[in-house]
Structure 1
Amino acid sequence: MNDSTARFSKTASGKVSKDKWLEVGLAVLSEIGANGLTIERLCAMTERSKGSFYFHFNSIEVYKIDLLSYWEGKATVETENGVVAHDDPIDQRLAMPRLAAALSNRVEVAIRAWSHHDAKAKAEIRKVDARRIAFVAGVIAQTDGVPLEIARRLATIEYAAFLGFQHLLDDASQSERQNMYESTLFLISPHLRRPGE
């Protein structure tokens, strides 16, 4: 039994929930890439039959669509929620590097690679990119007091740096990635100060 199989334990009734199947998919993306998303591999990792897979998903294509949506929820919606959990806009802005650094670098890179040869993954990436830029722009507009159009340009630069660091810092620790993301934030918004400064 590998580490991935151990992570995705079954419920007391022996069933694997839909979310667990999707978590396994994120692990496959992280470890192997999109080419590893096969029913056989997913069943082996969950120690369940194909019938169990088909209980939740009509086909591997349906699974992949659900997986992309699940990734958006985990990596974008939950991150946004973590930001807006702070009442103060400056605290929201300062939370972004920490939350961004907590994302799985390997999953993010794997999904972007997948999008180069899969139209549905490409559409999802474009949607997520637009959503993330718009969200960051909204926070920048509040904290920096700039018009939304300028905030959008700044957010695009900041997000482009985030994407580049995913490749350049692929072996970096979460702390190292957070430091680099914070450096970018303070270049974009130099008037802000780190907590305690």
Structure 2
Amino acid sequence: MSVLDWLDFGLETLAEGGPDSLTIDGLCLRAGKTKGSFYAHFQSHDEFIIALAVHWRKRYTENVIERVEAEAEPQQRMEHLNRIVIHLDPRIGHGMRRLAEKNQEVEQMVAEIDQIRISYLADLHFASGNFTPEDARDLAIIENAAFIGLTATGYGKNAAEMERLYSTFMRLLAPRSTQETTPPDLGRELQ
């Protein structure tokens, strides 16, 4: 197995068994490989875990953004992003977040990845011309949290449901008249 094979295998193992399944013995047994094969690529378990997080960042964030940037218009980029994201295995992201609870370096990487995703979404929303920079950033934070939460709570576990939910989300974001989009005075309603 190459380094890339081990890392892809690690993501698959993480998705199926969570962070506790990532022991060297468990990985080697599951892969049908010797520890020597593992140690030919990684000096330690910690090095493997960090490499795994870097690999996740590359495949599930950087490569996705790179593919989306091929589109010309912000709306097309947003639609392309949504089409890609709904087909990603959410168990990997959740596994990585659980791994972050056990490893401070992974925790920092996950936080950085969230910021990259939020910044990218904010740029897309702002580029649409429908949002101020502040609103675009707030919307991006909400959207990122919603994506994580949807799959964590059991919604959006299959592509068809996720696609339906994203379609609804995008429809609700469509510009409306000022009267329809002006929020109620919540302070007055609470009195």
Shared fold, TM over 0.5: yes
Gaps of 5+ in 1: 1-15, 193-197
Give the aligned partner of residue 128 of structure 1: 113
Aligned equivalent of 1:51, options 29, 36, 51: 36
Matched to 1:190, the amino acid is A
Does structure 2 conserve the Cα–Cα contact (< 8 Å) formed by 1:169 and 1:177? no
Change (3 A) 1:171 1:95: closer
Task: Give the CA deviation at 1:96.
Answer: 2.2
Matched to 2:21, the amino acid is G
Does structure 2 conserve the Cα–Cα contact (< 8 Å) formed by 1:106 and 1:170? no
Mapping 1:32-181, distance limit 5 Å: 32-169=17-154, 172-181=157-166
Percent identity over the alignment is 28
Change (3 A) 1:129 1:84: same
Q: Secondary structure at the match of 1:169?
A: coil
Q: Matched residues in 2 for 1:107 and 1:91: separation? A: 26
Does structure 1 conserve the Cα–Cα contact (< 8 Å) formed by 2:7 and 2:55? yes
Task: Give the CA deviation at 1:171.
Answer: 7.1
Aligned equivalent of 1:190, options 174, 177, 182: 174
Q: Does 1:30 align with 2:4?
A: no
TM-score normalized by structure 1? 0.83
Structure 1 stretch displaced more, 59-68 or 98-107: 98-107
Give the aligned partner of residue 7 of structure 1: none
Give the aligned partner of residue 6 of structure 1: none
Q: Matched residues in 1 for 2:32 and 2:162: separation? A: 34
Q: Matched residues in 2 for 1:67 and 1:53: separation? A: 13
Matched to 2:131, the amino acid is V
Structure showing greater Rg: 2
Task: Give the CA deviation at 1:113.
Answer: 1.8
Q: Secondary structure at the match of 2:102?
A: coil
Deviation string 1:15-46 (CA, Å, 9 cap, x unpaired) is x1100000111111111101111111221232
